[in-house]
Amino acid sequence: MTNIEDLVPRVAARARATSATLPPPASAEELASAEAALGFDLPPMLASLYREIANGGYGPDHQLLPLVGSGRTALGEYQAERSASAEEDSPYWPAGVLPILDWGCGMYAAVDCRSEAATVLLFEPNAMEEDGAAAWFVDSESLADWLETWLAGTGWYREDAYEDQEPDEMRPWELAASRIAE
């Protein structure tokens, strides 16, 4: 298992190498305020990314959303999705699942902030029919593994990902229905 002390500096180096300008990191006060507004703590790895590298602006493909600030933020997207989901006949956004990256077309990479490993999930609204849980898939068992995939340049989202072989299908997230019901 990758530890934070090893991974965060490598992610920081890649972030600096691939992003012309990074926003400043989130302060301890901003992180605490965001966690209070969310009603849950961020997993240690995710908190370290925001606190030690930058408040978003780097990462796979479309880049991590800022945690806090002006414009679109992970905090704002979580609150908006939970609110919109609650108004639907078939709710779709689980409690404790923070969107961290907007893939476009309504798709998000999101972190299950209640899982010890910070499981990274894919929200794919096009898979949703009558059950909001059908839109949730496990992208990576842990945030650390997801970041390692980005560092290695082997993610499913790469432009040439399908040239060598078809990527494995993502498995449905088993906890989606129970977490949506909360």
Distance CA 12, CA 32 (A): 22
What string of DSSP letters covers 2-51? --HHHHHHHHHHHHHHH-SSPPPPPPHHHHHHHHHHHTSPPPHHHHHIII
- Per the domain annotation, does 106 fall within a domain? yes
- Per the domain annotation, does 41 fall within a domain? yes
User: CATH number of the domain that 64 lies in?
Assistant: 3.40.1580.10
Which residue reads 């796979």 in tokens? Answer: 60
- Per the domain annotation, does 26 fall within a domain? yes
- Per the domain annotation, does 54 fall within a domain? yes
**Each residue's pLDDT tens digit, 64-100:** 999 999 999 999 999 999 999 999 888 999 999 999 9
- Per the domain annotation, does 160 fall within a domain? no
- Per the domain annotation, does 158 fall within a domain? no
3-class DSSP state of 173: coil
- Indicate the average pLDDT of the chain: 91
Cα–Cα nearest to 181, from 69, 82, 111: 82
124 is in which domain, residue-wise? 4-152+171-180
**Each residue's pLDDT tens digit, 140-171:** 999 999 999 999 988 877 665 445 655 567 89
- Per the domain annotation, does 163 fall within a domain? no
- Per the domain annotation, does 93 fall within a domain? yes
Distance CA 177, CA 41 (A): 21
> pTM here?
0.92
Distance CA 52, CA 67 (A): 13
Domain count, the chain: 1
